[in-house]
Amino acid sequence: MKIQSFKFSNHKENWHIEEVKFEDLNLLVGGSGVGKTRILKALDLICDVAIGRNRNLDDLEWSINFSHLGQNYRWELKSSSIKNEEIFINLNESEQTEIVYEKLVRYDDDDSELEILLRNDSDSKFNKKDLPKLKRTESAITLLSEEDLIIPVGEAFNRFIFNFQIPQELMFNNRNNDPNRIELSHEISISNFQEYFAGTPPAIKAFYLQKFFPDVFNEIKEYYIDIFSEVTNVKVSNERDSDGDFLLFFEIQENGLEDWIPQHRISSGMFRTLICLIEVITAPEESVILIDEFENSLGINCMAELTDFLLDKSPNVQFILTSHHPYIINNIPWKTWQIVSKSGNKVKVRKASDIPALDTASSLDKFTQLINLLDSEEFSA
């Protein structure tokens, strides 16, 4: 999946994101409170609705253009709160809203438009054929997910990763579910592995990489050791706890120490770096990775290397990042900057390459011009 553009409105809270256009690598920069995180969370909500996760859709509206495996799509949706008070009392929060308009269009190679689905207050159509009344609290993309025309759209949104959560030790609650007993076909490729394990916790992906694709796991280790020269080894271990359940957890080994350092003693920056490497390397091709405040927990010793790693991977994976840190901003090509500003209730994004003031000779000049630009009243207007 590649997100080409989107716009989003929350009519209940009266705020709006004007159309944002994305490239392979996008760094959202701007002052605090202008809407950078709001953009990422809006995209995350859109993804959740597409794959059927419960979200409150109270008076929202969006349009998103994206491509997947060579096909271009546009998905529009509008929702509102349910007005009937008797119904409202008996529903949980996610069911107190309904979808009042939805449209999914595919654009073919000759730029012709195929209307895959359309529903409004009066009727619903799929591939221009009438449908029975659909459940109005769920997207038609979810309700029709097994239809051939919809399957690629579901696959696209399943390649969506929002932030890198710092996982705890992973427990297999069923004591009979021994991770060591799981076997994969010898014919499975790394791309099949990436698809199969998309969306699973990084500890599981790393554990099975270590077992079935040691070359890929060693690639992760080599990147990690290049960033943290004191580290000599990385592994994913598993053991039974006192209740008989299995735990998966990471361990690292450092120069001069025989004992392995368990997951709970790995620093937050080192651990976040490891999770980033795992998530990016195991992401299926054409995944979208959103990271809010990329610099969080990272020390100055790993920012440049991790930034270079993302730059290297951006042709295969789309990144949409936010950052306030000058070290991150200066180490990402300025033409990938997306300058975020807010005027009243509207969030606006402009490409740095469209702003003449940023087209200066040096990186230092560009960063200085960026700061001056963000401080100017003219830019926010």
Q: List, for residues 44-84, the tens digit of each pLDDT value.
A: 999 999 999 988 898 999 999 999 989 999 999 999 987 65
Min mean pLDDT across 9-18, 76-85, 107-116 is at: 76-85
CB 42 within 8 A of CB 63: no
Q: List, for residues 298-355, the tens digit of each pLDDT value.
A: 988 889 899 999 999 988 899 999 999 888 988 899 999 999 999 999 999 999 999 8
Q: What's residue 198's pLDDT?
A: 87
Q: Is 293 left (phi over 0), alpha (psi -120 to 50) or beta?
A: left
Q: What's residue 87's pLDDT?
A: 46
Angle, CA of 219, 220 and 224, to the nearest 5°:
115
What percentage of the chain reaches a pLDDT higher than 90?
62
Q: What's residue 159's pLDDT?
A: 92
Pairing of the two strands 60-68 and 2-10: antiparallel
The answer, yes or no, to whether residue 187 has pLDDT greater than 80, is no
The answer, yes or no, to whether residue 86 has pLDDT greater than 50, is no
Question: What's the predicted TM-score (pTM) here?
Answer: 0.89
Q: What is the mean pLDDT of the chain?
A: 88
Helix (H, G, I), strand (E, B) or coil at 142: helix
Q: What's residue 165's pLDDT?
A: 62
Q: What is the mean pLDDT of residues 230-258?
A: 89
What percentage of the chain reaches a pLDDT higher than 70?
89
CB 321 within 8 A of CB 27: yes
Highest mean pLDDT, choosing among 11-20, 203-212, 331-340: 11-20
Q: List, for residues 134-178, the tens digit of each pLDDT value.
A: 899 999 999 999 999 999 999 999 999 998 765 555 555 544 566
Q: Find where tokens 């554990």 sit.
A: 207
